[in-house]
Chain A
């Protein structure tokens, strides 16, 4: 029997306990005017995993409840695109990559950014060196698996930038198609699929990794969004959810083992074929991605927004750049 090694949890210091108690109290007080808890639903853009640890932690630790929100976190995935659920009113909050959200807004789907959590791009295309792929040009004419419309802007921009035509294949929940040789390259998040590839027995030196950020497409990723109408109708709810989510992220990074326990509960409930080591890798990479820039958690500086929007505009993916003021609301 393979022996499981349970990593030790960091001990909780008394001052940390006080800090978090005060934080929960502060969120609660700020929203004390909301007499009865308001119901809300949040749809992450993918299956339960550490990519959304902050939200799961905020739910599990009662940060949403303390802020007067009776939050439900829906199960994301290919069958539940946030744009659709928001449009249908099945969810009030959703997570989007920034470019996706900009394009949605440019296309007339009026999303507002409540908090920007991942300030840089973690998106990759991964190919095998053994297939002779060393640079973007080597992808020309190859079959490449891409995710759905929400996550394909950066690769598409890369292809356009290098004048490459690839044969597209849909990318499902996993990288199996790539592992079985069905495609020459596949989409990957550095914190997820890339590690899954390594954990399928491929060594890093066997892979050619195209990092979107290194190809001038450092487009910010995960952010918390609501419909503009939701924001206008109920800014208090939006603020409460945003603040509790930020608190959730802070807590998750401060207590990674506890956060992993919470994530694994969701993973287990969803019967997902993943493991704690993978989620640990993901949480650690997200921590680096979210806290590495030194910017306040949840911030979306105008410059970063405009750089991303201009990249989309130049690539011809949006007809015009939506105004920052309309896109970004101060819900923090």
Chain B
């Protein structure tokens, strides 16, 4: 049974086609795009890395030029002072000249170890720095302990020039600076005596200006780290000298940033992904060492800018793909429409044909594809169906006519049977009742009874083999023959013998009849009977005991021309009932294909003993009907009951 959902119009063929093709195409495109995007990104990254490394190496080298320039004079001065110590004015003159000649240098000092400049002078450290663009001698501000300052202490202990960590010089300079210091040694033979330090200060502000010139992409920026990881230069001036890459790593809780800081401060070079905490977005860091100062330069570029071109390309490709998909969708829709339009028309026609309008022509199509073939097949099917239905109509009409005729034939057949009961109301010696329950078709059961010319009761129950009109005609013939012969013969066997012979004549259809034929002398109770292959009738004694009547042998009527029939005789006791029937009773089947059988019949008879013949017939018929239930009746059922009352003649 179809549900409502089955009738809901589903997604069309065109939609499914478009979905499948577009999904497949989208998957292929997405795969290819992802691969190409990833490859392009990798290539771009390699290129960016190369560019960044070149840029940063170049920038570091460029920045080192002025720093190397800064180094030159202190190195020279330290060497000269080690050779020969001039007087104070000479030293001051040299420092002033140094500043004048080097605009990149902010301040310069020569700080001496106790007694080194002049015996008895514990400390001497003239310092010059730039004030309003002119070199001016200023006080260090910590003359009594400059030997603890890193710019003095570290080169002294290390015995070599050193760039200091960034620091704020609050005495003379009052700026954040880094200092290049060269130790002064006097060499006498193998002995090297430390005399002091010559230093040159570089303003970190100046350095920051230099670093700020390094550009990479739009918002990429450069920064410098000291050997300890402290910011020497950074766009955010609050970081300079104060923060280190490690303090930022600690603040952000980022071990990755710390590791990067270690790589940078240990003189490494590289191009790494920066932890997102740094910029708040993905970014890359290129870094390279600055050998002169021991610092490290880094350039940070946000990934968004690095891959801006690639992203733009990606967006363009995606837009083109979207356009392409729209176009593809249109083409598919067009194709689907050309395919499905005839199909839709065909479906409508088919629906019309299904309603029975077989004259609706299937739309003709000139197409030679599957749809065209389908249309033509459909048209052929329609025509064939129309012809078939025309044939069927004719056949049905013929069948109906036949059935009608059969019905008439049956009515005629049934009209042969005596139907008035009691048949001989004036005779009380016996009581007789019979019933025939026909199966659907014209069948072959028959019964009859009449009084013979010598005043006896002739009765018979028979069953013609086969069904239909031939059987009915055969039955009519048989009945007529019996009647005719009973006028001439008084012996049951003789009657059957004659009837048999006549039936055998021209019996090409090989039909035959079984028959029980009895003649009751109801004045005495003597029953003469003969049998032509029929089943034995039952006897119900006046006391209710049932038994089967023993029948003489005899074959069916109509088969063997020289068949011999025998007459047997019994005396019926007054009150005894004879029940003759056809095999429609015992061979009646229930829905489970079980037979009603002789035993059930005997039980039925035992229960119904003592009843009148009519009531007995009804009881048997009811029992058979109850047994058969829904099962279709296969054969005619005939029951005839004869109650012999005895010689109670009127």
Contact = CB atoms under 8 A, between A and B. Distances in A.
B244 A200 contact: yes
Nearest to B176: A271
Interface stretch (A123-131, A221-229, A273-281): A273-281
Nearest to B279: A3
Given A78-B148, A174-B165, A277 B235 contact: no
A282 B236 CA distance: 25
Contact of B227 (A2, A180, A278): A180
Contacts of B142: 79
Contacts of A169: 153, 157
Interface string A275-312: 11110000000000000000000000000000000000
B236 A1 contact: yes
A326 interface: no
Contacts of A180: 154, 158, 162, 227
A275 B165 contact: no
Contacts of A179: 227-228
B276 to A, nearest CB: 10
Interface string B234-264: 1110110111101110111000001001100
Contacts of B266: 201
Contacts of A1: 221, 234-236, 279
B405 interface: no
Contact of A172 (B153, B235, B250): B153
A278 B229 CA distance: 14
Nearest to A169: B157
Contacts of A170: 147-148, 153
Interface string B209-249: 00000000000010000011110001110110111101110
B381 interface: no
Interface in B275-294: 277-280
Interface string A172-198: 111011011111000000000000001
Residue among A176, A201, A270, A272 having the largest count of chain B Cβ atoms under 10 Å: A201
Main secondary structure of the interface of A (DSSP, over half): loop
Contacts of B147: 170
Contact of B265 (A172, A173, A200, A270): A200
Interface string A48-91: 00000000000000000000000000000011000000000000
A200 to B, nearest CB: 4
Contacts of A2: 234, 236, 239, 243, 248, 278
Given A182-B158, A200-B228, A271-B170, A172 B241 contact: no
Contacts of A277: 247, 250-251
Contacts of B235: 1
Q: Which size class do B's interface residues fall under? A: 35 or more
Nearest to B147: A170
A38 interface: no
Interface in B305-332: none
B227 A273 contact: no
Contacts of B148: 78, 170-173
Contacts of A274: 242
Contact of A177 (B153, B221, B236, B261): B153
A273 B165 contact: yes
A169 B153 CA distance: 9
A199 B246 contact: yes
Interface string B598-629: 00000000000000000000000000000000
A176 B164 contact: yes
Contacts of B251: 4-5, 276-277
Interface string B152-174: 01100110001011111010000
Given A78-B145, A179-B228, A271-B168, A201 B176 contact: no
Interface in A147-187: 169-174, 176-177, 179-183
B149 interface: yes
A275 B251 CA distance: 10
B150 interface: yes
A5 B162 contact: no
Contacts of A78: 145, 148
Contacts of A171: 148
B144 interface: yes
B157 A177 contact: yes
A273 B242 contact: yes
Contacts of B258: 201
Interface string A1-34: 1111100000000000000000000000000000
A3 B277 contact: yes
B244 to A, nearest CB: 6
A273 B168 contact: yes
A170 B168 CA distance: 21
A84 to B, nearest CB: 11
Nearest to B157: A182
B167 A273 contact: yes
Shortest Cβ-Cβ A-B pairs, 8 listed? A271-B168, A182-B157, A172-B148, A200-B228, A199-B246, A277-B247, A201-B262, A273-B241
Given A79-B145, A201-B229, 16 more contacts: A1-B236, A171-B148, A176-B164, A176-B165, A179-B227, A180-B162, A182-B158, A183-B157, A199-B244, A201-B261, A201-B265, A270-B170, A271-B168, A273-B230, A273-B242, A275-B247
Interface of B: 142, 144-145, 147-150, 153-154, 157-158, 162, 164-168, 170, 176, 221, 227-230, 234-236, 238-239, 241-244, 246-248, 250-252, 258, 261-262, 265-266, 277-280
Interface of A: 1-5, 78-79, 143, 169-174, 176-177, 179-183, 198-201, 203, 270-278
18 contacts: A1-B234, A1-B235, A1-B279, A2-B236, A2-B239, A3-B277, A3-B278, A169-B157, A174-B150, A177-B153, A177-B157, A180-B154, A182-B157, A199-B246, A199-B250, A200-B244, A273-B167, A275-B247
